[in-house]
Structure 1
Amino acid sequence: MDTSATAIATVLTTKPCNRGSRLVLLPLPFQGHINPMLQLANILHSKGFSITILHTRFNAPNPTNYPQFSFLSIPGVADENISVSSIESVLNFLEYLNDKCFNPIKECLSRLMLEDEGVKCLITDAQWFSTQSVADELKLPRIVHRTSSVSTFLLFAAFPVIRDMGYFRRFSDQDNMHYGLWINQKDRVYNSNYQVKTCRFHVVNSDRLVVRNLSLRNLHSQVTRTRKPHSFAPFLVLSQSYGHFFAELKSEALVKGLEPLKIKDLPKFLTSDPEGACKLLALMVQGTKKARAVIWNSFKELEELELATLNKEFPNQHFLIGPFHKYFHASSSSLLAQDQTSISWLDKHPHNSVLYVSFGSLANIKESEFLEIAWGLANSKQPFLWVVRPGSIKGSEWLEILPDGFLERIVKGRGPIYINVTFSNNEHKLAFTLIFTRSDRTMALPFLVLSQSYGHFFAELKSEALVKGLEPLKIKDLPKFLTSDPEGACKLLALMVQGTKKARAVIWNSFKELEELELATLNKEFPNQHFLIGPFHKYFHASSSSLLAQDQTSISWLDKHPHNSVLYVSFGSLANIKESEFLEIAWGLANSKQPFLWVVRPGSIKGSEWLEILPDGFLERIVKGRGYIVKWAPQQEVLAHPSTGGFWTHNGWNSTLESICEGVPMICSPSFGDQLPNARYVSDLWKIGTVLENGFERGEIEGAIKRVMVDKEGTEMKNRVMNLKGTVDNCLKKGGSSYSSLGDLVDFILSFN
């Protein structure tokens, strides 16, 4: 445990629980939501509250890691056999949960309220937007926990405005890849007998398509002739079957008013139901506004400007009490087994020498991208610790697509690859309340919901243009979601926003200093109370909540490397990549010549079980021992290890915050959702990392690794992120912003009758 966590732990002494002090916490059943929710539970328990965790049977947390809590399973829905393997099914799963769990959740809460202890308030993730109605019916205060940054939340909340500014296109989903233009509702212009090959659209609003810098003549010159006429209406979200086209629209242009976000940084969702996705987002925002308060796993100093915006837009109370994980050492909540050998591996490396690479628990990449990552790491010549989650490479189980002897011959021991790395700190050289696991910046960001039937088309839209008012965000940075029901997805997003507005408060896993401007906007738009009490994980060492077994050998491997010499590579628990991408990653790592620890989750490579597509002898002959590959790793321990010098990540908010907390600069490979704007803030605003702008290509990977791990630019990134680390430590101490916000949150909850 580091000294800051020790100091915090001495303050967070457990108080006796009083009658009527029970809090019911309901996490979304995904790794990135379970972790901060259980961290928050530990924090609140230390303040004298008794805790009941209400959970689905799907991805259920392990009660044995938390004997101090009560656990109650929601009956009849979401059993443990459900599989969420794509972005599409995630959105559908959210709808399923909110629909099917409404009555069971209401019944569970009703029973708990009749017990002697009662229920003081309900704390849920924003995606549980239907629970606001449950809370209203039961007259139970609800608090929202946001798992994003304040900044990202604001991006989502601003979606209607950004849509009207022309950053999103709304289309009708037709059979057989239809293409055409809506000029207005009465005047449809068809591009008959043509299919789009490449095209860049700059401005679209909700009821008409306006093409700037591209005439219809130019448009026609960029299409190839086909048998059938094609048409499309203006659209808000991206359809899956056109996804590869629009993903290329990675505009470098800044989003006006959201600088430094670029258009390409806006959150993206790929869906077959864009309208449904938009409704879902709206529900989440509305639910947040209705909450009594919002708890944030962030801290004031990180998001000071965002906090000012938050207070204007969301009149709830906001409590920034993060980083949660820094409060104290608690049981792991990892849903994956953590590989503790990564810490011993880090112990062998010099301070600040290792790049830690991890893309979270949801990201999936192509095999080609995986190989580009690998070769980028290899060619960088830097030590790296790479988390490759089994199943995260599309078409592969784990590392089978790596060249034979990649770690042994190419990387030459510089980079181990793990399945999971322990999410824990290590003293090494490396009223209805919503809880948000994203930065509050997300709520102001517009987003792209991708329809499945148009997905490959929209995937090419990677515009470099900045989003006006959201600089430094580019069009390509807007959040993206892939769905077969765009309208449904839009409704879902709207419900989430509405649910947030109705909450009594919102809890954020962020800190004031990181998102100060965003917080100011948040307070304007969301009249709830907002509590930025993060980073959650820094309060104390938590029990593992990983869904995958963590490979602890990654730690012993790190122990053998110099400080700051290893690149840690991990793309999270959900990411899936193609075999070609996997190989590009592998060769990028190999060519970098830097040590790496690579987490390759079995099943994350499409078409492969694990590492079978790697060239024979990749680790032995090509990497020559520089690389170490595991199925999962104890991530917080890896990032805290002195040998870890860089983190190649998918930029989920938890991973981004954990990297900041340990002073580790980042290489960013965002995939969907809030990962894109998070990455842009890391690279362009905070300047503590670099973004791989062109996906997984071994040459770009190699260059990025060298920039972060070797060049002067990387040293400057390191200095800046170390300054942020110091800010985190201060915000959690007595008198700090997150410490004070946590006290305000406790008083706020105790004020409920």
Structure 2
Amino acid sequence: MEMEKQKSSRIVLVPCPFQGHINPMFELASLLYLKGFSITFAHSQFNFPNPSNHPCFSFLPIPHDLSQFQASSSNFIALLLALNDNIAMPLRDILVHQQQQNDEILCIIYDSIMYKVAEVANNLKLPSIILETSSASLFWTYAAFNRLESEGYFPLKDSIAEDFVPGLDPLRFKDLPIFNFPNVDDLLHLIKTTSDIRTSSAVIWNTTECLEQPILEKLKQHYEIPCFPVGPMHKSIKNVINRTSLTTEDRNCIMWLDKQVAKSVLYVSIGSLASITEREVTEIAWGLVSSNQHFLWVIRSGSITGSDPKSVFHEKNLKEAIEKRGYIVEWAPQKEVLGHFAIGGFWSHCGWNSTLESICEGVPLICRPCFGDQKMNSRYVSYVWKVGIVLENELERGEIERVVRKLMVSEEGQEIRQRAMDLKLEIEKSVAENGSSYKCLDDLVKFLLSL
């Protein structure tokens, strides 16, 4: 009887339409589909996925009224606020139509950033569940912001940058997402809104107890609703192909990696949203070349401020040196790259997905955070889990060379790599049968069937 209920139980998922948020939502969808649930994506037409890549799921496109200026805006926070302002009414109409077609909806699972979905679910008397695509530590930090504001810490001052944040050890004030953020009022509004669980019935986390157990305990006590740390989700769906990349992946880099020595290549990527200047690119290039290490470097279109990536490496000596030791692609199949025997380190912006994917493969990190939760993640990588090195100062070729060599060929780098391998084994235990994440997924299924 329970299996029959599962097969007839439709779950509607509402992702935030950006690469770092789409990936974990599709991973969750795959896990729930494998558990017998029917899956429907209600997805903004902004960055709408190709349904033919996901034949097991159905898709409901949500129209939006974003202007061309809003859709292409470099003000990411303003864009997220606009997406929320545009989603409520069309999503409600779509779900009402589904219900009128006798398509029973068990619940709605939504990305915490798409906070307007909670209003829609409540209005339709549907249970709603949050998927938090960042770390549990970030959510706990957001929950502390009202307290910090009432205690007079906001606006943050440069003079306290190195001080530990009261109640948020091991974070310093400069590790907070709002430190030196240009549109801080908009960001604070978004943070306070997304950290309010509203009427949601539970929270799903793409994390695991072996990484964040103390924080997860605090969150359970604070919010008093069920919390399900089922991650890292991509490690539980090994036989499912997830074609969720918004950019075409260049698979030629895998053939190049096949020709390299084990643990000899540094993978370099700043993710799907961040950008850097032409000067910084040049310094990175010379630093990588001078380190005498091989490297696979992702330079996506639009990631170099005001420049075409092809025009940056115009110096003949630099171009020849890169061709000798490096391989540059616009986008790479990152999980496959990190799992390749040739990869010995990852220069990363430390978005949560990239951080998890690197740790899951036992690959140590060079952390160069850009914005948002990345500074927090790099703090945990380097200070708590001790599986990486932070590159904090202004990008300069000599410092880059030193840090790359430290990670890739020094004795200290070998110790960091060993800790990364140890943590990889802990995570593998958590997603294996009877591990903490495995059990949490079973508990989540039981919870969904009880709604």
TM-score, structure 2 length as denominator?
A: 0.95
Partner of 2:14: 26
The structural deviation recorded for 1:85 is 5.0
Give yes or no for the alignment of 1:279 onto 2:189.
yes
Partner of 2:389: 690
Partner of 2:63: 75
Partner of 2:213: 304
Worse-superposed segment, 71-80 or 260-269 = 71-80
| Richer in strand (by share) | 1
Partner of 1:153: 139
2:369 aligns to what SS in structure 1? coil
Alignment of 1:127-526 (within 5 A): 127-169=113-155, 200-202=158-160, 251-268=161-178, 274-286=184-196, 288-329=197-238
Cα deviation code 1:605-626 (max 9, x no counterpart): 1121113121433565324511
The structural deviation recorded for 1:295 is 0.7
Q: What is the distance in 1 between the residues matched to 2:194 and 2:172? A: 24
Cα deviation code 1:18-65 (max 9, x no counterpart): 564000000000000001100100000011100000101111111111
Cα deviation code 1:585-638 (max 9, x no counterpart): 111111111100000012211121113121433565324511111111010000
Partner of 1:720: 419
Unaligned runs of at least 5 residues, structure 2: none
The structural deviation recorded for 1:702 is 1.2
Q: What is the distance in 2 between the residues matched to 1:267 and 1:37? A: 23
Aligned-pair Cα RMSD in Å? 2.0
2:211 aligns to what SS in structure 1? strand
Q: What is the distance in 2 between the residues matched to 1:167 and 1:318? A: 30
Give the letter aligned to residue 608 of structure 1.
S
- Is residue 9–residue 37 contact of structure 2 (8 Å, CA) maintained in 1? yes
1:301 aligns to what SS in structure 2? helix
Q: Are residues 569 and 661 of structure 1, via their aligned partners in 2, closer, same or farther at CA, if it must alter by over 3 Å? A: same
- Is residue 16–residue 48 contact of structure 1 (8 Å, CA) maintained in 2? no
- Is residue 646–residue 667 contact of structure 1 (8 Å, CA) maintained in 2? yes
Q: What is the distance in 1 between the residues matched to 2:31 and 2:68? A: 28
Q: Are residues 312 and 120 of structure 1, via their aligned partners in 2, closer, same or farther at CA, if it must alter by over 3 Å? A: same
Cα deviation code 1:255-291 (max 9, x no counterpart): 34322222221113776654333222111111x2531
Give yes or no for the alignment of 1:115 onto 2:25.
no
- Is residue 267–residue 296 contact of structure 2 (8 Å, CA) maintained in 1? yes
- Is residue 584–residue 697 contact of structure 1 (8 Å, CA) maintained in 2? yes
Cα deviation code 1:626-662 (max 9, x no counterpart): 1111111010000000100000000000000000100
- Is residue 327–residue 732 contact of structure 1 (8 Å, CA) maintained in 2? yes
- Is residue 268–residue 674 contact of structure 1 (8 Å, CA) maintained in 2? no
Q: Are residues 544 and 724 of structure 1, via their aligned partners in 2, closer, same or farther at CA, if it must alter by over 3 Å? A: same
Give 1 or 2 for the bigger CA radius of gyration.
1
How many residue pairs align between the two structures? 449
Q: What is the distance in 2 between the residues matched to 1:550 and 1:165? A: 47
Q: What is the distance in 1 between the residues matched to 2:95 and 2:355? A: 34
The structural deviation recorded for 1:168 is 2.7
Q: What is the distance in 2 between the residues matched to 1:160 and 1:68? A: 42
- Is residue 118–residue 199 contact of structure 2 (8 Å, CA) maintained in 1? yes
Give yes or no for the alignment of 1:66 onto 2:54.
yes
Q: What is the distance in 1 between the residues matched to 2:412 and 2:184? A: 40
The structural deviation recorded for 1:116 is 2.8
Partner of 1:56: 44
Give yes or no for the alignment of 1:629 onto 2:325.
no
Give yes or no for the alignment of 1:103 onto 2:89.
yes
Q: What is the distance in 2 between the residues matched to 1:674 and 1:649? A: 13
Worse-superposed segment, 713-722 or 607-616 = 607-616
The structure 1 segments of at least 4 consecutive aligned residues displaced by more than 4 Å after TM superposition are 15-20, 78-82, 269-273
Worse-superposed segment, 319-328 or 606-615 = 606-615
| Richer in helix (by share) | 2
Partner of 1:707: 406
Cα deviation code 1:190-235 (max 9, x no counterpart): xxxxxxxxx9433xxxxxxxxxxxxxxxxxxxxxxxxxxxxxxxxx
Higher-RCO chain (CA-CA 8 Å, sequence separation at least 6): 1
Give yes or no for the alignment of 1:738 onto 2:416.
no
- Is residue 363–residue 417 contact of structure 2 (8 Å, CA) maintained in 1? yes
